[in-house]
Structures are given as C-alpha cells and as structure tokens.
Structure 1
Amino acid sequence: MNAIFWPEGYIPGFCDNFASNEVIVAGLCVADIWPLLNTPSLWPTYYENAADIRFYDGKGPELAQDVRFYFTTFGFPVDAQVTEHVAPSADEPARLAWHGCSGEGEKRLDVHHAWLLEDMGGRLRILTQETQNGNPAKELAKTTPDPMINGHQAWLKGLVAAARARKA
C-alpha cells in the first residue's frame, strides 16, 4: 500500500498533533470518490463539519494544484492552498493535499491535510491524515475523545455513503 508524502515541518511525530483515518471498502473505486472529494462545494452534502466553502482568484469549483480556497471546519476558518493534486490514473493512486492556516499569533493553527485514494483489486482504500502545528493543535492533541479522529472518520463514512448513493 502507498503512503502520504509529508512536507518538511509536518512530519507525523514531529508536529503538535496528528490524526490518521482509513477505510477499505468493496464495491467502490477511486473514480467513484474523486469527484466528491475534489469538489469542495459537495463536502457539506456528506460531511457536516465543512461549511462556507469558497475559492480565491476566480478558481473552482474543483480543486487543482496550487489553487487557494477557504472553508470552516472544527470551528476554525481555514485559508488553504492545494499542495498536491494527482487525479486518478491506472498507474498511481489519486492524491490530494492542502496546507491550511487559521488564526494569528498564539491562536494560529497550521495544518497539512492529505488524502490518498487507492484501488486494490475490487476494493478501495481511502486514507486521510492530518498534521497540525500551533497552540490550538497542542490543545486538540490533549482532548478525549479525539475530535480530529472522530471528525475525519465521519468524513470518510460520509464520503463512502455519498459515493454509494450516487451509484444506486
């Protein structure tokens, strides 16, 4: 199985908080999931923790390399920029990642959120991982139950359910 590519400063274990979520399901493929993930305006239709989505510089409605966008999640307003965008192909898994930030000074949160979608011979693997730096990340890391793990698992479940509903 493939792994997430991490930029310097956001390597799990060397950051203030890390969340990793994964599902492997039968009956779906990367092509079923990609349009739902790559179109942020669809996120709120299957994930209640994403809202207020908009693009900068006249871009959108789909994500692409270096595209800047905005959304709110976990109560944070996030300015984000796509840092990795590899559409599905037969040769490699689909990859999507963005760097996002929220707040200033002591309340600044910096994140790297990455997705990997991989066809596995009749099964689909969806891996999403996020690393965070800053005081809000340090506080999130101490919270039980873990809001990042639970929130991202809800995102995965919603994504799978939305893809299955589209196929029905």
Structure 2
Amino acid sequence: MMADNVYGAIYKKAARDLAQFREPDLSRFSDEDIDVAMSRAFTASGARPAWLAELRRHIEEFSDGNVTLDDADRERFPAHVKGLGVSYQRLRGESDSGESEQLLTIGQFERPFRFVRRAGRPSRSLHTAIERSLRDVIAETLRQARERDPG
C-alpha cells in the first residue's frame, strides 16, 4: 500500500515522525498531494486496514521496535475531535521525551495526523492552540468553497 512515490513518501514521513512520538510535519508536501494520499488511505468508514497495518509496521521499524501504533477506544477522545471516517489511534512505547502513550486521530482533514492533548496536561501555549484551530477552520472552509465553486 505504501507505494514508492510522493504518496509513499508522505506515509513514510508520517511513520518516521510518529516513531519518535512527534506529530507528523508534512509541510514539505503540497496540500493536494497530502489530500490524494489520505484519500487513497481512507474510505468513508475510516482507514483502509492494509494501509493502517503497513503504517504500523513502518512505525515499529523506524523505532527499532520501541513504539507501536494500535487502535484506541473512541470514548477516550474528547468530543471536539470525533467525526466520521476518523481513525482513533494510540502510540505506545518509549520516546526521547519519556512519553509512553499518545492518543492521536488520523483522517482526511487538514493536518491528517493529530495528537490529542490529554485533559490536565499543559499545552505549549493557549495562543498556539487557538491559532492552529483557527487555521484549520479557515483552511477547511476555503477547501469546501473551492470544491463548490472551482472557477
């Protein structure tokens, strides 16, 4: 499933970052390539099982077996990150920062791999969190507008 092309490069970059307990930074790829890559990895009901299995294999490989990705209970996630076709996942293992577990969502949206902050855990800054949320809302609104009126 992870073809040796730009889409495969996107998936492998995400796996490398996740193997280090980092939220994937896909900024070197175009939005269009990311959208196509994720549409190939997902159906309306969620992640394609073969794609998810290969992503998991790459995470384990890139972490030398120290980090695993597995399904997480949807109920552990706050309401604001839940949606249709979202894959609810959990990273487990050892990282340089000492992390042992990180919840994340994967889906066909802006920033397709998103870490979920646990309640009571301080964020880097409230300003950064608000800025990211607003950026995501604006990007999604613009994307939907372009789909409705391509001209």
Per the normalisation by structure 1, the TM-score is 0.32
Higher relative contact order (CA 8 A, sep 6+): 1
